[in-house]
Amino acid sequence: MAPKKSSAKTKPKPTTVRLDFAPPASKRIDPLTAFAAPKPKGKAKETEDDRLWVEIYEPTSQTELAVHPKKVEDVRRWLEEAFVGGPSGKLRKYRRILALTGLAGVGKTATIRVLAREMNCEVLEWRNAMGDNAYTGFQDDHQTLFSKFENFLERAATCNTVFAGPSSSQTKRRIVLLEDLPNLLHADTRTKFHNAFQALVASPDPNPVPVVLIVSDSGTRGEAADDRLLTGQSRERDDAMDIYTILPRDLLNGPYVTQIGFNPIAPTIMKKALQSMIHSHFSSQTSNAPSKEILDVIIETSNGDIRSAIMALQFSCIVELPSGKRKKGTKGNAKVLLEAITRREQSLVLFHLLGKVFYNKRKSFLVRVTHRTPVQRRRTFLKDKELDAALRDPPKLPHHLSAHERRTSRVNVDMLYADSPIDSSLFSLYIHQNYHQYCNEMEECEGVAEWLSWVESSGGEAWYQANPHQFHLLALGTLHSLPSPVPRRNQKCFKPQFFDYLTKEKDAWDADEDHRVGSWSRAEVVTELGGVLKARDTNPTASMRAPLSHQLFSRLDFVPGSDGSGLSQLSEAEVPGVVEGLVEDTDHVGGWETGNKNGGGWLEDDEIDEF
């Protein structure tokens, strides 16, 4: 997202065709604007533009986008396939819905807008027009918001615009952009919404208009969801908006929907973008430009959210930050301040969260990374050293506890908890799925397994009696039990199999239900009826066959060895991660603790390549 001030005002806005009454003010008003743009102090700037920088410096071309080029290319290819149909021309049928997912502020909307402009297509965007037509007595043609949405979707997908220029009415490409969605938390609306999409996909339109859905991820936190997750009734988290609530499951896995996940913006890319923005903003005078350190702090605290970074940047240009250029020692203050502004919860990527726990780094542990340059290795070394200096050694343990002697951990569990994108139940499942790869000895396994078991059974029967310290106990217990250093042998991180088996179990219970006779209890059917059922199956003369579904619980073939099937590896994109191959920032949490990053030290210790 590089600056282009001159073009900011003249740039062609994507036309938005509204099929219902549009609210007069289509610009989104940000409450921050109220005080984010006060009168500039001292010398008045030439441009008295009170818009936010985010809007002023909206990217206009692909080169200005701060998104990883590969992602942009993915989206572009999809759009091209949607319009042309790919090399064979047959793909068009399947390019109906594109879902862009990712955390807030990673450039999803910007990418679509830029590409739409570059590919010269019209963006039809839906916006929930709440209270636009103020209630004016009885209206015969009153529509609910949702039926408006349905109409919009239907018409946008099928009708050509009447107002299009005579020349281009046929050739003009259009996409439907859905970012502001109806209230999907309402079950009825969600069903209708799903139906609308099913209908859209099912319609045999030779000239379909592709639909782009933009979904900002938000992770799940809070322990109450546990219960529901466990009972296996529904994995859909009704109160969290994610791609699974927005699109029906079968559609999402079907051929018509493509999902492209956006990762948080890498610090290097963001730095470039912000620098060029500063460069053009302060082209005339350099005195007020924020210092390099502040820029670094902003990037670091934004966690890949470029919108928040730009906001923070603008903020830092408006108020005089305590540090300035003169005193470098006060940088910590600026950091604290900026962090307070830009800090986002759930900023730690799941993948890295697990890496931190499993690799169990402790004081005076040297990372031996062979494929780094000496400079980088040295930098890592220095950073670790500084980190270690801040860690205090634990008091010596008495003799009988000497088995529990450990060096101080470099992992700050409080930080982990604050930044964790998942709740403790899911966290324990992930640990459970993967811990054995990081153990050498049975004793270490025993430690982790015991902790998992204890933590899970601590607390009472009801959710509100649950142990509130589960996350901490688990993290600390795992760290305590695992060896340090953990041997690196190309461990892979897998997703928990728990849920797959839970669904299987549910199916089996249903089958069980079919076989209940009289007053048999479920467990009796499962454990004792199997033999007879099997005998009936093998006996061709048996007059009455039981439904074959009993095999779900009666048939168990022992396969020696552990089959790797059913294991799915946790990828970084799962909960958005860092752009692969470009940057590694696993240790940024560590950076917060001590605040000793020297200019642009991003390419440091890596964890990711090890996975």
Mark the segment that binds other proteins (CB under 8 A) among 91-99, 320-328, 436-444, 590-598.
Answer: 436-444
Q: Which of 457, 464, 489, 490 binds other proteins (CB under 8 A)?
A: 457
Shortest spacing between CB 453 and other proteins, in angstroms: 4
Q: Are 109 and 59 in contact (CB under 8 A)?
A: no
Q: Which stretch binds other proteins (CB under 8 A): 361-369, 404-412, 554-562, 568-576?
A: 554-562
Residue 73, interface with other proteins (CB under 8 A)? no
DSSP secondary structure, 8-69, as one string: HHHSPPPP---SSPPPS--SPPPTTHHHHS-PPPSSPPS----S-HHHHT---SGGG--S-H
SS3 call for 108: helix
- Judged by CB under 8 A, the stretch of 191-199, 344-352, 449-457, 596-604 that binds other proteins is 449-457
Tokens of 567: 């294991």
Helices (H), 183-325: 187-202, 225-231, 243-246, 249-253, 267-281, 292-302, 306-318
Whole-number Å distance between alpha carbons of 411 and 434: 18
Instruction: Give the chain's largest Cα–Cα span.
Output: 99
Q: How far is the CB of 190 from other proteins (least distance, A)?
A: 17
> Shortest distance, CB of residue 441 to other proteins, whole angstroms?
8
Residue 569 found at the interface with other proteins (CB under 8 A): no
Tokens of 37: 């743009």
CA nearest neighbour of 201 among 98, 128, 118: 98
Which stretch in 17-25, 168-176, 451-459, 587-595 sits in contact with other proteins by CB under 8 A? Answer: 451-459
Is 544 among the residues that bind other proteins (CB under 8 A)?
yes
Closest CA relative to residue 158, chosen from 201, 95, 199, 208: 208
Using the minimum distance from each CB to other proteins, give the nearer residue, 366 or 535.
535
Contact stretch for other proteins (CB under 8 A) within 75-83, 194-202, 288-296, 562-570: 562-570
Contacts of the segment 555-562: beta carbons below 8 A, 24+ positions apart:
555/530
What is the rounded (10 degree) CA torsion for 485, 489, 490, 492?
Answer: -80
> Among the candidate windows 22-30, 55-63, 227-235, 578-586, which touches other proteins by CB under 8 A?
227-235
Closer to other proteins by CB, 21 or 501: give it.
Answer: 501
Does 518 interact with other proteins (rule: CB under 8 A)?
A: yes
314 binds other proteins (CB under 8 A): no
Q: What CA–CA distance (Å, rounded) separates 49 from 314?
A: 13
Would you list the DSSP string of 505-542?
HHHHHHHHHHT--TT--HHHHHHHSHHHHHHHHH-TT-
Residue in 45, 235, 436, 492 binding other proteins, rule: CB under 8 A: 436
Give the bridge partners for 262, in sequence order: 102
Element (H, E) at 475: helix 470-481
State the minimum distance, in angstroms, from the CB of residue 247 to other proteins: 24
User: Least Å distance between CB 511 and other proteins?
Assistant: 9
Residue 484 beta carbon to other proteins: minimum distance, rounded to whole angstroms:
16
Subset of residues 231 to 270 that bind other proteins, contact rule: CB under 8 A? 231, 233
Strand 257-262, strand 97-102: pairing: parallel
* Least spacing, CB of residue 223 vs other proteins, in Å: 13
Q: CB of residue 444 vs other proteins: minimum separation in angstroms?
A: 8
Out of 153, 526, 570, 575, the only residue in the binding site for other proteins (CB under 8 A) is 526
Distance CA 355, CA 358 (A): 5
C-beta of residue 342 within 8 angstroms of C-beta of residue 302 = yes
Min separation Cβ 239 and other proteins, Å: 13
Identified binder of other proteins from the candidate list 276, 437, 484, 571, rule CB under 8 A: 437
- Of these, 555, 569, 598, 600, which contacts other proteins (CB under 8 A)? 555
- Measured from the CB atom, the residue of 398 and 460 that comes closer to other proteins is 460
Q: How many residues bind other proteins (CB under 8 A)?
A: 69
Q: Does 152 interact with other proteins (rule: CB under 8 A)?
A: no
* Range list of H helices, 400-529: 413-419, 424-434, 442-457, 470-481, 498-514, 522-528
- Read off the amino acid at residue 369: V
Among candidate residues 244, 145, 158, 160, the one with its CA nearest the CA of residue 199: 158
CB of 144 to other proteins, least distance (A): 24
Contact call for residues 125 and 181 (beta carbons, < 8 A) = no
Among 62, 491, 497, 571, binds other proteins (CB under 8 A): 497
Torsion angles phi and psi, residue 212, rounded to 5: -110, 120
Q: Which stretch binds other proteins (CB under 8 A): 325-333, 404-412, 444-452, 600-608?
A: 444-452
Q: Which range, of 92-100, 205-213, 359-367, 440-448, touches other proteins by CB under 8 A?
A: 440-448
**Residue 422 touches other proteins, criterion: CB under 8 A:** no
Q: Are 229 and 221 in contact (CB under 8 A)?
A: no
With CB under 8 A as the contact rule, the residue among 10, 167, 373, 562 that binds other proteins is 562
Give the C-alpha separation, 553 to 529, whole Å. 10
- The type of residue at 287 is S
Query: Is residue 67 at the binding interface for other proteins, with CB under 8 A as the rule?
Result: no
Q: How far is the CB of 416 from other proteins (least distance, A)?
A: 21
Q: Out of 26, 63, 253, 527, point to the residue binding other proteins (CB under 8 A).
A: 527
Residues forming the site for other proteins (CB under 8 A): 230-231, 233, 428-429, 432, 436-437, 439-446, 449-450, 452-454, 456-457, 460-461, 497-498, 501-502, 504-505, 508-509, 512, 516-519, 521-524, 526-532, 534-536, 538-539, 542, 544, 546, 552-558, 560-563, 566
